[in-house]
Structure 1
Amino acid sequence: MDAPLYLRPRVDPPLADLLEDRSFLHSLVDALGSPLNVLLPEAVAGNVARFRAVYDRHRLTGRVYFAHKANGSSALVRRLAAGDPAAVGVDVASTEELRHALGSGFTGDRIMATGPKDPEFLWLAARVGATVNLDSPGELEQLAALVRAHGLGRVDVLVRLSGFESAPGHGGAGTRLLSRRSRFGTPVREARDLLTALERASDAVALTGAAYHLDTTGVEEKARALELCVLFLDDCRARGLAPRAVDIGGGFGVGYVRDAAEWERWTTALSEAVLGTRPPLTWRGHAYGLRNEGGTVRGAAALYPAHRPDAGPGYLDELLSLPAPALGRPPATLLLDHLHDLHIEPGRSLLDQCGMSLARVLDVRRVDADSGQYLVRLGMNAGDMSLEEHGVLVDPVLLPRAETDRGETDRDETNRGDRNRGDRGHGEPRSRGGTPAGVYLAGNLCLEGDLITRRLVHLPRLPRTGDLLAFANTAGYAMDFHAHRAQRQPLARTVAVQQAGGSWRWCPDEDYWPITPLGGTPA
């Protein structure tokens, strides 16, 4: 039998500490049902501090705007609202997100309105003094008309740019910069017309900067786009405008899988399975976008790079340090020389290690008599925990139900490791009381396609009815981005937890306020 293909999660404190308190987690699910989302609001404050440390290292000013669409939690938004107003804001992409941010304690001057906008969204953003990140000249005209019609004050705006294949007027003829096409933003080649429109609307809007958000992990491509935004702002100043910021969006990434070797081993095995040189790794031979053409693997795997050694703040630091192609200076230096603020809009990376999704094991049965594989049905569906919908492959952590099972998987499943070695999150899995088992994880909907993950997941032992599977690090996009009430299945409840005095306390997500310790009185 082939060795198990683990993709064990990267789990750091305090999330690792929470995973160790299995009786507490089981008691939560017993009381509130499966599935259940568990959030750590204090962890998001720690992630803000790590991003701000990168700002300080490069001597930059500007705001970290949380991309609200990544999670609908009240606890997380309220905890961020309690942070330094000059350092932390929120990026909202709908009227309801804007209302939620305001109700959670954010003032309008700390809010960035992004995404496609209807008139109601534009009016409310203008009314409360939010900065509007304009996606097109049409949005600019619509916003200006609303400001004039309702007698509102001038609205601070950024213009979102795209199409960074070339920089008209800079870099020389024939210079071509590769950039993935996007349906968002105004192409750079149309920047001159955009500037004319901004001048016409100067009674209604005030240009404060340029923005971009590229759907790529390529740091060189993002550095080129940042450089072109700086050059665009030079053109703006030459025409009498006074911009002062560059907003580079999000996309800083998260490292989900802790071991690079495990990720490489699994992706190599996927290619071998597609070629037919090893048994399938997935339900019904699903290949994640790869195909076998005459003995050669073709296509691109639709997978998130789950092991990323430089993600989140580390990725931002790399981007700011990389020399830009035309001007030859690092982006941080360009921003400092031009006295520009830097704004970022992290979602997934700001929620790294901020929560997990729990699901109870409802049923375990063999897939067939010969394969040695099992189908595990969970008390959740694919919409409740949608890591795979975003191409993220990572193992859940098995939390046995019975106290007598603790010795079988013990603390190795939480990946704490030997802290005397400073080895945070690198313990080896063992199966002292069981044998590693390959399982497919199925959801609770009456649909063939309701699979929590389409790959064969290896666990230290076969789960039993009543056990829990904990999907770590689901706060970013996986908890509620695709949640639905199909077949009248209930949506997952969400709780906020906090460690105090060696034990864990919890409250419903909507009842969390940062001024009130859980189970205590207002500070």
Structure 2
Amino acid sequence: MSAPPMPAKRRAWEKAILTRPDLLSQMASAVGESYHIIDPNTFAANLADFAAVFDECGVTGRIRYGYKANKARAFVRACADAAAIAPPSRYGVDVASAEEFGAALAAGVRGEEVMVTGPAHSDDVLRLAARHRALVALDTVEQVSRVLEHTPTEHLNILLRMRPDDPTTRFGMSGWGLQQAVADLQESDRIVLRGFSFHLSGYDVWPRVAMAHRAIDACQRAREVGHPADIVSIGGGIAVDYVEHRDWDTYRARESGEWYFDGKTAGSLYPYSTEVAGAAMLERILCDSDTTHPESVGVRARSSGLSIMIEPGRALCDGAGISVFTVRGVHTHTDGTDIITVSGTSMSLSEQWFDSEFLPDPELVDPLGSQPRSDTPIVRHPAIVAGATCLDTDLLSRRRIPFSRRARVGDLIVYPNTAGYQMDSNESEFHQVPVPPKLVLHRQASPTTWSIDR
């Protein structure tokens, strides 16, 4: 039994690429059988959409791209290019290592446009942050004490990360710990408390609204004892709509182990369609009021002279990349399922490594460009997609995808919307096979102009 179709929402550039099998074949000939294509213009448009929401809500906004979502230098350069013509501190990058920090600087991002997150920062990261006037989130009392004991020679701007009401998280401070950190920081003239941050699991609006109000309250209390406290970071977790809502509802309502090759449903699934996503979700967080506060987060931030920072990763990469694999073999399993073996591995489609499944359907492309006759009835050919390794678990798609024809050796399988966390979160040179390169589209010159991301 095959799974139901899950057609992806596709941007115009991607639809155009799928009509150019000659271009896809040319890319494969130039760089190898597996590769990713990224579109920095779409990434830049997503940046602009979030900025427009801040402007419409009258809120001073700071947008920091979560670098971990995709390591493409082209995306970080897009942040730097946007920052060059925007109000100060509008755009930047969220990093969690000295290597990411250095890569952001090399791409043209200024130090003051860098937000440093993550636990237990290394001395190298703290030195870079102080030297380049970056902002650092500290998430434990012990981190605060360590920074105070080893105060850098230059000013260090910090946020204190607040712990949500979640007993399973290991990040953030609450209650006594947060109060103690604020009090301890009064003793330093070089560690500057710029505000508070939080990051929530899940993709719901109202928990973020509630935490944002708590962070604004914390800023107001910190100001009363002399701290500048002018920034609230609400983190990431901005949802992305990969498929139409009706298709996602159908999948959730009917999901069956019979759809999957191993007979097991996914342990967890990303919400591939939500009530509100992208920039519209930010608008809800900023502009909607809840029962506990008559004023919205945006109104309170504006009246208090606070700026709101967001750190989206997946949401900025939405629609900005696809992944291409070449079919190496097709055979039929004893249960009648076609197994398509492709170049590359499931490590280049990272969702599979979290007891999950990447649901938007891939497209099967004939590199010769042949198309079925329009009057030919479509006969579905259920198939799973496997990587070219010795691992039984190396499956890019373990659900039986209802392809419109049977795959052939040499075909291309194109996975949609993979820029956010899919391309390189888990990639490695397993079997000494090179990691698939990222190819950057340059639409301003020609739809067929591209280069390797470096």
The residue aligned with 1:248 is 234
Shift of the 432–254 alpha-carbon distance from structure 1 to 2, 3 Å rule, reads farther
Aligned runs of 1:193-232 on 2, under 5 Å?
A: 193-200=180-187, 202-232=188-218
Asked whether 1:158 is paired with 2:124, we answer no
Find the residue that maps to 1:360 and give its secondary structure: strand
Checking the alignment, whether the CA contact within 8 Å between 2:34 and 2:343 is kept in structure 1 is yes
Using the TM superposition, give the Cα deviation of residue 440 of structure 1 relative to its aligned residue in structure 2, in angstroms. Answer: 0.8
Larger gyration radius, structure 1 or structure 2: 1
Which of 259, 263, 272 is 1:281 aligned to? Answer: 259
List alignment gaps of at least 5 residues for structure 2.
none
Using the TM superposition, give the Cα deviation of residue 331 of structure 1 relative to its aligned residue in structure 2, in angstroms. Answer: 1.1
Determine the C-alpha separation between the residues in 2 that align with 1:162 and 1:431.
Answer: 59
Shift of the 156–406 alpha-carbon distance from structure 1 to 2, 3 Å rule, reads same
Determine the C-alpha separation between the residues in 2 that align with 1:49 and 1:16.
Answer: 22
TM-score when normalising by structure 2: 0.94
The residue aligned with 2:171 is 184
Checking the alignment, whether the CA contact within 8 Å between 2:172 and 2:198 is kept in structure 1 is yes
Determine the C-alpha separation between the residues in 2 that align with 1:431 and 1:42.
Answer: 37
Shift of the 180–337 alpha-carbon distance from structure 1 to 2, 3 Å rule, reads farther
Checking the alignment, whether the CA contact within 8 Å between 1:12 and 1:353 is kept in structure 2 is yes
Aligned runs of 1:126-141 on 2, under 5 Å?
A: 126-141=130-145
Determine the C-alpha separation between the residues in 2 that align with 1:101 and 1:393.
Answer: 31
What is the percent sequence identity of the aligned residues?
A: 27
Give CA-to-partner distance per residue, 1:107-158, whole Å, 9 cap, x none: 111111111211221122212221111122222233334434xxx2211111
The residue aligned with 1:90 is 93
Letter in 2 for 1:119: D
Asked whether 1:476 is paired with 2:420, we answer yes
Asked whether 1:111 is paired with 2:114, we answer yes
Asked whether 1:358 is paired with 2:324, we answer yes
Determine the C-alpha separation between the residues in 2 that align with 1:329 and 1:28.
Answer: 53
The residue aligned with 2:434 is 490
Find the residue that maps to 1:444 and give its secondary structure: coil
Determine the C-alpha separation between the residues in 2 that align with 1:137 and 1:252.
Answer: 28
Checking the alignment, whether the CA contact within 8 Å between 2:347 and 2:426 is kept in structure 1 is yes
Checking the alignment, whether the CA contact within 8 Å between 1:445 and 1:487 is kept in structure 2 is yes
Which of 316, 339, 342 is 1:375 aligned to? Answer: 339
The residue aligned with 1:414 is none
The residue aligned with 1:16 is 15
Using the TM superposition, give the Cα deviation of residue 286 of structure 1 relative to its aligned residue in structure 2, in angstroms. Answer: 1.4
Which of 388, 398, 404 is 1:444 aligned to? Answer: 388
The residue aligned with 2:57 is 58
Determine the C-alpha separation between the residues in 2 that align with 1:465 and 1:194.
Answer: 61
Checking the alignment, whether the CA contact within 8 Å between 1:362 and 1:465 is kept in structure 2 is yes
Determine the C-alpha separation between the residues in 1 that align with 2:341 and 2:184.
Answer: 57
Asked whether 1:265 is paired with 2:229, we answer no
Letter in 1 for 2:434: P
List alignment gaps of at least 5 residues for structure 1.
166-178, 275-279, 290-301, 409-429, 511-523
Checking the alignment, whether the CA contact within 8 Å between 1:320 and 1:332 is kept in structure 2 is yes
Find the residue that maps to 2:227 and give its secondary structure: coil
**Root-mean-square deviation (Å):** 1.9
Determine the C-alpha separation between the residues in 2 that align with 1:216 and 1:364.
Answer: 38
Checking the alignment, whether the CA contact within 8 Å between 2:2 and 2:399 is kept in structure 1 is no
Shift of the 248–4 alpha-carbon distance from structure 1 to 2, 3 Å rule, reads closer
